[in-house]
């Protein structure tokens, strides 16, 4: 398999060889190639930049940002380019105790939920973590990563340290999204913005309805991100 240009940004030969070794070990252990894809192609990546530029126009670039769900760090890296400080949360395979694998939207998982399970519970999290570390952590001095579940993060983090923007793209199952968005507002500054990814997913739409977001100013972007804008900013 040619992985030379799959995920790397500025990797040297040694890092490439370590990545190749991880991929080979995975195939030897499980009998198939690890499937690790970019969550956004170049076009959708562009629209995430559009979202960041829009947010910057509203609130400037001195923002403290929290990202729930980093995966390989594609969005994390973009946030760190636009804003002053970024904290990311991703457990890389660990699960929230309150949402075990059978805890789905009213026990009737949508195809989106099932797809998310395949991504979040894939066996390749050591490879995903390696990509994230070498593409993002090693490059961005304004990034802090928390390798833990979002439940643990919100439980342990000092809620006096408010964020200006919180972006949620973690476990998309309904019960977990409800907790993540509810917790996010406790850690948000007075004129802060909450947003997320996969706006069109059934579980996300149900969260938007049940938390009353549909009655708030809401902007939807073409990469399926969305922002809930405080009226005072408009």
Can you tell me the distance from the alpha carbon of 68 to that of 222, in angstroms, rounded to the nearest whole number?
Answer: 20
Least confident of 10-19, 96-105, 179-188: 96-105
Is 175 contained in some domain? yes
Is 197 contained in some domain? yes
Is 202 contained in some domain? yes
Longest dimension (CA), the chain: 56
Task: Please report the pLDDT score of residue 196 as a whole number.
Answer: 97
Is 45 contained in some domain? yes
Confidence of residue 172 (pLDDT cuts 50, 70, 90): confident
Q: What is the dihedral of CA 180, 95, 76, 195, to 10 degrees?
A: -20
Contacts of 20 (CB under 8 A, 6+ apart): 3
Task: Please report the pLDDT score of residue 96 as a whole number.
Answer: 62
Is 83 contained in some domain? yes
**How do residues 95-104 score in pLDDT, each as one tens digit?**
665 554 444 4
Is 225 contained in some domain? yes
**Structural domains counted in the chain:** 1
Task: Please report the pLDDT score of residue 118 as a whole number.
Answer: 54
Question: How many residues belong to the chain?
Answer: 234
CATH number of the domain encompassing residue 116: 3.40.50.150
Can you tell me the distance from the alpha carbon of 220 to that of 141, in angstroms, rounded to the nearest whole number?
Answer: 30
* Secondary structure (DSSP) of 32-52: S------SS-HHHHHHHHHHH
**How do residues 113-168 score in pLDDT, each as one tens digit?**
555 655 555 678 899 999 999 988 887 899 999 999 999 999 999 877 899 999 99
Domain encompassing residue 148: 13-233
Is 201 contained in some domain? yes
Least confident of 32-46, 102-116, 120-134: 102-116
Contacts of 192 (CB under 8 A, 6+ apart): 162, 163, 164, 165, 166, 230
Is 1 contained in some domain? no
């Amino acid at each position: 398999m040619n992985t030379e240009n799959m995920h790397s940004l500025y990797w040297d030969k040694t890092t490439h060889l370590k990545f190749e070794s991880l991929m080979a070990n995975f195939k030897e252990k499980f009998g198939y190639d690890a499937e690790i894809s970019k969550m956004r192609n170049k076009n959708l990546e562009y629209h995430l930049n559009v979202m960041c530029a829009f947010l910057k126009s509203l609130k400037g670039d001195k923002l403290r940002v929290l990202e729930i769900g980093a995966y390989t760090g594609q969005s994390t890296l973009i946030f760190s380019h636009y804003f002053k400080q970024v904290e990311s949360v991703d457990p890389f395979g660990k699960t929230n105790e309150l949402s075990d694998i059978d805890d789905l939207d009213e026990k009737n998982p949508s195809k989106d939920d099932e797809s998310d399970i395949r991504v979040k519970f894939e066996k390749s999290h050591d490879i995903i973590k390696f990509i994230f570390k070498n593409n993002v952590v090693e490059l961005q001095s304004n990034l802090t990563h928390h390798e833990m579940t979002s439940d643990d993060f919100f439980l342990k983090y000092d809620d006096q340290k408010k964020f200006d923007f919180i972006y949620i793209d973690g476990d998309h199952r309904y019960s977990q999204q409800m907790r993540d968005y509810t917790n996010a507002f406790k850690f948000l500054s007075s004129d802060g913005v909450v947003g997320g990814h996969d706006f069109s997913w059934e579980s996300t739409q149900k969260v938007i309805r049940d938390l009353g977001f549909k009655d708030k100013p809401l902007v939807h972007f073409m990469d399926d991100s969305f922002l809930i804008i405080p009226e005072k900013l408009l």
